[in-house]
Amino acid sequence: MSALALLGAFFPVTVLAAFSFDDVAEKARALAAKPYQAPAAIPKFMQTLSYDDYQNIRFNPDKSLWSESNSRFQVMMVPPGLFYRHAVKMNVIDAQGSHTVPFRKTDFDFADPEVAKRVPANLGYAGFKLTYPLKGEKERNQFMVFAGASYFRGVGRDNTFGISARGLAIDTGLSRGEEFPSFVEFWLERPSPDAHAMTFYGLLDGESAAGAYEFTVYPGKTTRLKVKSRLFPRADIELLGVAPLTSMFYYGENTGRPTGEWRAQVHDSDGLQLLNGNSGEWTWRPLLNPRELEMDYLMTDNVRGFGLLQRDNQFSDYQDLQARYELRPSSWVLTEGDWGPGQVVLTQLPTTNETNDNIVAFWRPQEKVQAGQTLDYSYEVQFGESNLGGNPMGKVMNTFVGDGNVVGGGNAPGAYRVLVDFGGGLLDKQRPRSPILSNVTSLDGGEVLEHFVEYNEALKSWRLSILARPAAKKSLSLRAFLSNGDETLTETWAYRLPANNDIRTAQ
C-alpha cells in the first residue's frame, strides 16, 4: 500500500486539481488591459430593501458548503441586497477541478413572502462567511466574512465582529472622491475535513486597477490571514492604499462626550500602532472624531507592521451590554519583505453617531503608481486581542486632554493639559522610585510649558503630565516617550489635536 493510500485509510485526503495564484494573476492582468466594466447591478428593489427586510433573508446553515462531510471549515453564502449591490461569482476547487457554485434560492429562508416571490432564481451571492469550531468541536462559529466591495471582517476566538479590512483602497479622503474596487470572483479550495487552515483566491477589479489575491486563513485565539497580492493599475493612482483597515471612533477618553451620552466611550478602535522598519521605533497615535476631515501621513522606511487596536478592553470602559465594545477585535498588518519607503496614512472623518466607520489606515508607496506597473505585496492580517504585533515596550494606557487654564489643568490661557499613562512591557521592570525621565517634543510651532512624570500607585503605571500651547490657529502636535538614562522604555506617543476641537468650549 502506498504512503498516500495508507494516510487516506485513517484521514480523508483531498487531492486538488491544479489551480494557483498565477491563474488568478493572469485573469487580473487581462482585466487591466481592457476598459473597466462595472459588475451588473442587482434588481432595484433589492438595493432599496430596509435594514430589517434584508436581515430577514437568512441563509440556512445546514446548506453550508462541505457540511455533508462534517468539515471543520464550512461556507455560508451572503445574499445580495441593501449595501451589497452586485453579485460575485463563487467557485470551488476540488479533485475534479474548478466548479461554479450555483445560486439556490431554496438555501435561504425569507421572513417576508413578498420579498421571496420577487427574488430572481439567478440572483447570485454577494460574498461568503466562513465557520470553524473556535469555541468547541461541536460548534460552527462564524469567524470571517467577505462581502461588499473588497471588504472583509475577522475575529479571534474571544471577539465579536467590529473592525474591517479591505483588499485595496484608492484615493481615500481625497476631494475627488474615493474609489471602491470590488472582488468580483472567488475560488475556494476544498480543505480536508480535519484541516486547520484554508486557502482561497480573489479577483479584484475597479476603475483604476485590477488585482489577484491568495488568502490562507488560520482561525484561533488570534485569527491570521496570510495575503499574497499582485496589482495591475490601469490608470495612474494618486493615493494607493495597501492593506487598508477600516474602523469606528465616535468618542473616547481623549475627546469630549456628546451631549446626552451616558457611556464613557464608544469606539471599535482607540489608536494606531506602527512599527517602523529601519529605526525599530514603536509609535502610538490615539484616534479622534474630528470636526473636519483629518489626514495624517506617517513616514516609514520598510514598514514592519501597523494596525488599529482596541486597547480599552474592559466592560467598565463602555458600560454597554448590547454593543460590547470591549470585545471588538484589534487588527494588525504584519508586512513581509522590504516594502521600501512610504507612509502609513491615517484618515479620520467626522461622524455624528456610532453607525458609521470613520477611520481608515493603510500604507502607501512613496513612488508614484502608474498605469502598466505590476505591484506585489505580501502580508498577514491578524484579528484578536490588543497585544497584536508583539510590542515589547511600555504602552500608552490612557490619554486625557483638558483645558490648560482651569483649576487642575493649569494657569496658561490657550494651553492644554495632557495626561498620558504608560504601563507594561519594559516599564514593569522599573521600581516606583526609579529615575524615569519624560521626553516631550512639540511640533508645528507649539510650546511645551512644562512636563513631568510620576508613578501612579493606583494603576501601577507611570503618568506623564504635559502643559502645552499650540501656535495660533494650529494643531497641538506632541511626541513623547519615557526613558531611564539612555534606555528608552516606552513606545512613542504621537498626538495631534486639531485647532477646531471639542476640548475647550471657547476656541
| Residue 313 pLDDT greater than 70, yes or no | yes
Identify the pLDDT of residue 270: 97
- pLDDT tens-place string over residues 404-447: 999 888 899 999 999 999 999 999 999 999 999 999 999 999 99
- Supply 462's cell numbers: 507611570
Least confident of 6-15, 34-43, 79-88, 128-137: 6-15
Contact between 157 and 142 (Cβ < 8 Å): no
How far is residue 196 from each of residues 132, 155, 242, 412, measured CA to CA in Å?
9, 16, 27, 59
Task: Say how far apart CA 121 and CA 273 lie, in whole Å.
Answer: 47
| Residue 449 pLDDT greater than 80, yes or no | yes
> Average pLDDT for residues 369-380, to the nearest whole number?
98
Q: CATH topology of 1-35+45-148+175-236 equal to that of 238-366+376-391?
A: yes
> Average pLDDT for residues 327-355, to the nearest whole number?
97
Identify the pLDDT of residue 17: 67
Task: Say how far apart CA 500 and CA 497 lie, in whole Å.
Answer: 8
> Average pLDDT for residues 123-149, to the nearest whole number?
95
- 1-35+45-148+175-236 sits in which CATH class? mainly beta
CATH architecture of 395-497: Sandwich (2.60)
- Supply 299's cell numbers: 513616514
Identify the pLDDT of residue 37: 96
Which pLDDT band, with edges at 50, 70 and 90, does 18 fall under? Answer: confident
| Residue 13 pLDDT greater than 70, yes or no | no
Cβ neighbours of residue 376 closer than 8 Å, sequence gap 6 or more: 228, 229, 230, 231
> Average pLDDT for residues 468-490, to the nearest whole number?
96
| Residue 232 pLDDT greater than 70, yes or no | yes
Contact between 78 and 84 (Cβ < 8 Å): yes
Cβ neighbours of residue 114 closer than 8 Å, sequence gap 6 or more: none
- pLDDT tens-place string over residues 137-153: 889 999 999 999 999 99
> Average pLDDT for residues 100-129, to the nearest whole number?
95
Domain regions of the chain by residue span: 1-35+45-148+175-236, 238-366+376-391, 395-497
Identify the pLDDT of residue 409: 84
Which pLDDT band, with edges at 50, 70 and 90, does 504 fall under? Answer: confident
Task: Give the side-chain half-sphere CA count within 13 A for 69.
Answer: 17
The overall average pLDDT reported for the chain is 94
| Residue 66 pLDDT greater than 80, yes or no | yes
Task: Say how far apart CA 308 and CA 284 lie, in whole Å.
Answer: 10
- 238-366+376-391 sits in which CATH class? mainly beta
Cβ neighbours of residue 328 closer than 8 Å, sequence gap 6 or more: 159, 160, 161, 162, 163, 268, 269, 310
Identify the pLDDT of residue 507: 39
**3-class secondary-structure state, position 45:** helix
Identify the pLDDT of residue 138: 85
* CA-closest candidate to residue 252, choices 284, 290, 295, 289: 289
- 11 versus 435: which is more confidently predicted? 435
Give the other-Cβ count within 10 Å of 356's Cβ: 11
Identify the pLDDT of residue 194: 94
